[in-house]
Amino acid sequence: MANDTNQTSGCPPVGIYLEGLLLPPLLIIDVILGIIGNAVAMWIFCRKLKTWNNNTLFLFNLVIADFFVLVSLPLRIDALLRGHWVFGDGLCRINLFLMFANRSASIGLMTFLAVYRYFKVVHPHHQINHMTKRQAWYTLALLWLLVIAPRVPMLAYSYIRGSDAAYQCFFFTSYQEKSRAIIFLVGMHRILTVLEFLIPLAMLFFCSGRISCVLRQRQMSKTPGARRAVRACIVIVVVFMVCFLPSTVTTAGMWVIRSYRPQDCTSFYIFTQITIVSFGLNFLNSALDPIIYCFSSSMFRHALVSSLPPVLRCCGGDAGKGSVAEATSKTQSTSQQEMKPIQVEGGSEEIE
């Protein structure tokens, strides 16, 4: 497109070409794996775990965050397959809100899990390690408020664009968007996307590094509990990077192009398309989060193993021949052990 055209009419609206080809298969995989994994997780949390600690409570809230986005993704898949949006303005707003709020909530909860484990291991006498259930619920309510509040203004505006026969529901706009409020929201979204990745990433690396160093200093790095603590942090970091790094990089690229190369419509369009596709990886966290549950809680892990048929258990042939009652007893025993702190250097710390 010629420069004089750009100056007078701006860049053309974003369409659904590349994302219409690549995004539906990725989102379908996200939904199938996410529903299966989180349904199993919800069943274990609600039916198999008789005793909950604060760590279990935090993991359960991550399941809730995943279900919110899994409910909204089928609408997005339908729109991509049809080539247009048929569910009206209200569901468009809710759909976009749930998708972006899920990203913020997942990042916030995963970061909080790592920070909570950091205090358990590095600062075993800190007050955070003695939170009551009521205090844990208050902490979670504050966390939900902090991650959702910046997204609430999205619900106040319409994102329906196009003709009657081909309505589109997209949050990303062209340069010629007439609503200053939506332009402001898109700009705020890009800032949040970058900051809510970089700050938690720095915290995750810090927590993981400090946990590893402290355990080595205390000569505990080879104990089973210590290895589980380190592995849990590593898994959180890996899931975090795989799911959220691509969308953060492409969003930052769009930001740079918009600010420093406003006439480069081709680059803006390409980055917009890639950004939309990269958001498919954001929702992959809903399918990968059950892995975090297994690594972050031995209570959850043993309850899961005890629920499997004997032939599918990976505990060896003798364990596979054990009765369900024996497996359940082992799960309850593990739950009791997790509730007991490990004595270290005159203090106590819970390493799951």
CATH number at residue 182: 1.20.1070.10
* Per-residue pLDDT tens digits for 248-278: 888 888 778 877 887 788 887 777 778 777 8
* Per-residue pLDDT tens digits for 17-48: 667 777 888 899 999 999 999 999 999 998 88
Whether 328 is in a domain gets the answer: no
Q: What is the pTM of this model?
A: 0.78
Whether 305 is in a domain gets the answer: no
Whether 320 is in a domain gets the answer: no
Other C-beta atoms closer than 10 Å to the C-beta of 118 total 23
Whether 163 is in a domain gets the answer: yes
d(CA 300, CA 279) in angstroms, rounded, equals 29
Q: Is the pLDDT of residue 318 over 80?
A: no
Domains contained in the chain, number: 1
Radius of gyration of the chain (CA): 23
If 0-12 CB within 10 Å is exposed, 13-18 middle and 19+ buried, where does residue 295 land? buried
Whether 324 is in a domain gets the answer: no
Kindly state the helix (H) or strand (E) to which residue 216 belongs, with its residue range.
helix 180-217
Whether 22 is in a domain gets the answer: yes
3-state secondary structure of 168: strand
* Per-residue pLDDT tens digits for 57-85: 999 999 999 988 898 899 989 988 888 88
Query: Which domain covers residue 148, as residue numbers?
Result: 13-296
